[in-house]
Amino acid sequence: MNNAEKVSVTMAREQMQAIRESVEAGEFATTSEAMRDAVRVWQRQRLEDAQRLEAMRARIHRSIDDPRPSLSLEEAEAELARFIETEAKGSNAAP
């Protein structure tokens, strides 16, 4: 690892024990490998969270930009009730 940087990290005893146990079980060759894997998982999770947030923002913008007229609360509840009823009938249909 040419571009590796050594750091010092303080962890809860239970967390460090879990890492040591994973090394002892052969899941990782060293605690450093286990820590690098944990950081990769953290990075991937952050990326997925950012993608989900961007998708939610896009849906919100599409909703705001939707030219259809807004529904009143009563109209929205009636539409939702019709949708649920239709879905329930569809799921009870024989294959």
Half-sphere exposure at residue 87, Cβ-oriented, CA atoms within 13 angstroms:
6
Task: Note the pLDDT tens digit of each residue in 73-95.
Answer: 999 999 999 999 998 887 665 55
Task: Note the pLDDT tens digit of each residue in 17-57.
Answer: 999 999 999 999 999 999 999 999 999 999 999 999 999 99
Asked whether 19 and 31 are in contact (CB, 8 A), the reply is yes
pLDDT at residue 1 is higher than 80: no
pLDDT at residue 68 is higher than 70: yes
- Chain Cα centroid distance, residue 79: 30
Asked whether 71 and 79 are in contact (CB, 8 A), the reply is yes
Q: What is the pLDDT of residue 90?
A: 75
95 vs 66, residue with greater confidence: 66
Measured at the alpha carbon of residue 26, what is the angle toward residues 23 and 30, in degrees to the nearest 5?
40
What backbone torsions phi and psi does residue 4 show, to the nearest 5 degrees?
-75, 150
